[in-house]
Amino acid sequence: MSLDDLYREVILDHYRNPRNKRPLDGADIDLLHNNPLCGDEISVRVKVADGAVADAAFEGQGCSISQASASMLTEKIKGMKLDDLEDLVLEFRGMMAGKEGADDDALGDLVALKGVVKYPVRIKCAVLAWDTLQEGVETYRKGS
Protein backbone atom coordinates (compact mmCIF):
# COMPACT_ATOMS: atom_id res chain seq x y z
CA MET A 1 0.00 0.00 0.00
CA SER A 2 1.70 3.14 -1.15
CA LEU A 3 0.70 6.77 -0.89
CA ASP A 4 1.37 7.03 -4.62
CA ASP A 5 -1.68 4.80 -5.20
CA LEU A 6 -3.84 7.25 -3.29
CA TYR A 7 -2.39 10.51 -4.44
CA ARG A 8 -2.07 9.90 -8.18
CA GLU A 9 -0.81 12.85 -10.17
CA VAL A 10 -4.16 13.33 -11.88
CA ILE A 11 -5.84 13.62 -8.48
CA LEU A 12 -3.33 16.14 -7.22
CA ASP A 13 -3.73 18.09 -10.44
CA HIS A 14 -7.50 18.32 -9.97
CA TYR A 15 -6.94 19.25 -6.32
CA ARG A 16 -4.50 22.05 -7.13
CA ASN A 17 -6.36 23.23 -10.20
CA PRO A 18 -9.99 22.30 -9.69
CA ARG A 19 -12.14 22.42 -12.85
CA ASN A 20 -15.55 24.06 -12.80
CA LYS A 21 -15.20 25.25 -9.21
CA ARG A 22 -17.54 28.21 -9.50
CA PRO A 23 -21.10 29.35 -8.96
CA LEU A 24 -23.62 28.39 -11.62
CA ASP A 25 -26.50 30.83 -12.04
CA GLY A 26 -29.84 29.31 -12.87
CA ALA A 27 -28.77 25.76 -12.07
CA ASP A 28 -31.56 23.19 -12.30
CA ILE A 29 -29.81 20.95 -9.81
CA ASP A 30 -28.13 22.61 -6.85
CA LEU A 31 -27.51 20.53 -3.77
CA LEU A 32 -25.15 20.73 -0.81
CA HIS A 33 -23.95 17.65 1.05
CA ASN A 34 -21.47 17.41 3.85
CA ASN A 35 -19.57 14.64 5.50
CA PRO A 36 -20.30 15.12 9.20
CA LEU A 37 -17.32 12.96 10.09
CA CYS A 38 -14.70 15.32 8.73
CA GLY A 39 -16.55 18.50 7.83
CA ASP A 40 -16.06 18.23 4.05
CA GLU A 41 -18.70 20.13 2.09
CA ILE A 42 -19.61 19.90 -1.58
CA SER A 43 -22.27 21.70 -3.60
CA VAL A 44 -22.95 20.14 -6.98
CA ARG A 45 -24.72 22.29 -9.59
CA VAL A 46 -26.06 21.20 -12.95
CA LYS A 47 -27.84 22.99 -15.77
CA VAL A 48 -30.09 20.71 -17.78
CA ALA A 49 -31.09 21.20 -21.43
CA ASP A 50 -32.86 18.64 -23.62
CA GLY A 51 -32.43 15.93 -21.01
CA ALA A 52 -28.68 16.37 -20.91
CA VAL A 53 -26.10 18.17 -18.77
CA ALA A 54 -25.53 21.56 -20.37
CA ASP A 55 -23.16 22.76 -17.67
CA ALA A 56 -21.86 21.45 -14.35
CA ALA A 57 -19.98 23.11 -11.51
CA PHE A 58 -19.15 22.58 -7.87
CA GLU A 59 -18.11 24.54 -4.82
CA GLY A 60 -17.04 23.52 -1.36
CA GLN A 61 -14.07 22.64 0.73
CA GLY A 62 -12.44 19.48 1.83
CA CYS A 63 -9.51 17.15 1.38
CA SER A 64 -7.76 16.49 -1.91
CA ILE A 65 -9.80 13.35 -2.54
CA SER A 66 -13.21 14.98 -2.14
CA GLN A 67 -12.20 18.05 -4.13
CA ALA A 68 -10.55 16.10 -6.95
CA SER A 69 -13.49 13.71 -7.14
CA ALA A 70 -15.93 16.63 -7.47
CA SER A 71 -13.74 18.34 -10.05
CA MET A 72 -13.50 15.18 -12.16
CA LEU A 73 -17.22 14.62 -11.79
CA THR A 74 -18.10 18.00 -13.28
CA GLU A 75 -15.76 17.42 -16.24
CA LYS A 76 -17.06 13.95 -16.84
CA ILE A 77 -20.79 14.63 -16.79
CA LYS A 78 -20.85 17.64 -19.09
CA GLY A 79 -22.85 16.72 -22.18
CA MET A 80 -24.08 13.44 -20.72
CA LYS A 81 -27.76 12.46 -20.87
CA LEU A 82 -29.43 12.42 -17.45
CA ASP A 83 -30.42 8.82 -18.16
CA ASP A 84 -26.76 7.87 -18.45
CA LEU A 85 -25.76 9.70 -15.25
CA GLU A 86 -27.33 7.05 -13.10
CA ASP A 87 -25.30 4.34 -14.80
CA LEU A 88 -22.16 6.38 -14.30
CA VAL A 89 -22.90 6.87 -10.62
CA LEU A 90 -23.45 3.11 -10.29
CA GLU A 91 -20.22 2.39 -12.10
CA PHE A 92 -18.34 4.78 -9.84
CA ARG A 93 -19.88 3.32 -6.70
CA GLY A 94 -18.97 -0.14 -7.94
CA MET A 95 -15.34 0.90 -8.29
CA MET A 96 -15.39 2.41 -4.78
CA ALA A 97 -16.88 -0.82 -3.42
CA GLY A 98 -13.84 -2.59 -4.86
CA LYS A 99 -15.85 -4.47 -7.50
CA GLU A 100 -13.74 -6.16 -10.13
CA GLY A 101 -14.50 -5.53 -13.77
CA ALA A 102 -15.47 -1.90 -13.40
CA ASP A 103 -15.80 -0.33 -16.83
CA ASP A 104 -12.58 1.68 -16.96
CA ASP A 105 -13.44 3.14 -20.35
CA ALA A 106 -16.71 4.55 -19.05
CA LEU A 107 -14.96 6.05 -16.05
CA GLY A 108 -12.01 7.59 -17.85
CA ASP A 109 -9.85 9.76 -15.58
CA LEU A 110 -11.98 8.75 -12.63
CA VAL A 111 -10.11 5.45 -12.57
CA ALA A 112 -7.37 7.40 -10.80
CA LEU A 113 -9.56 7.29 -7.70
CA LYS A 114 -9.34 3.50 -7.57
CA GLY A 115 -6.46 3.73 -5.11
CA VAL A 116 -8.83 5.18 -2.52
CA VAL A 117 -10.38 1.73 -2.12
CA LYS A 118 -7.26 0.68 -0.20
CA TYR A 119 -7.95 3.46 2.33
CA PRO A 120 -11.45 2.56 3.57
CA VAL A 121 -11.81 5.64 5.79
CA ARG A 122 -11.30 7.87 2.76
CA ILE A 123 -13.95 6.27 0.50
CA LYS A 124 -16.56 8.63 1.92
CA CYS A 125 -14.46 11.57 0.71
CA ALA A 126 -14.44 10.22 -2.84
CA VAL A 127 -18.17 9.50 -3.05
CA LEU A 128 -19.38 12.72 -1.39
CA ALA A 129 -19.86 14.59 -4.70
CA TRP A 130 -21.45 11.51 -6.26
CA ASP A 131 -23.98 11.13 -3.46
CA THR A 132 -24.82 14.78 -3.96
CA LEU A 133 -25.21 14.39 -7.72
CA GLN A 134 -27.37 11.30 -7.37
CA GLU A 135 -29.76 12.92 -4.92
CA GLY A 136 -29.82 16.07 -7.03
CA VAL A 137 -30.79 14.14 -10.17
CA GLU A 138 -33.48 12.21 -8.29
CA THR A 139 -34.96 15.41 -6.88
CA TYR A 140 -34.84 17.06 -10.30
CA ARG A 141 -36.65 14.15 -11.94
CA LYS A 142 -39.37 14.17 -9.31
CA GLY A 143 -39.87 17.89 -9.82
CA SER A 144 -39.88 17.93 -13.62
Residue 122 interacts with other proteins (CB under 8 A): yes or no: yes
Interacting residue with other proteins among 14, 46, 62, 113 (CB under 8 A)? 62
CB neighbour burial string for 112-137, b if at least 16 within 10 angstroms, e if fewer: bbbbbbeeeebbbbbbbbbbbbbebb
Asked if 14 touches other proteins (CB under 8 A), the answer is no
* Smallest distance from other proteins to CB 57, Å: 20
47 vs 122, which CB is nearer to other proteins? 122
How far is Cα 70 from Cα 118, in angstroms, rounded to an integer?
20
- According to the binding rule CB under 8 A, does residue 63 interact with other proteins? yes
Taken in order 99, 104, 110, 116, the sign of the CA dihedral is positive
- Residue 99: phi and psi, rounded to 5, are -70, 135
Q: Which residues bind other proteins (CB under 8 A)?
A: 3-4, 6-7, 9, 12, 15, 37-41, 61-65, 119, 122, 125
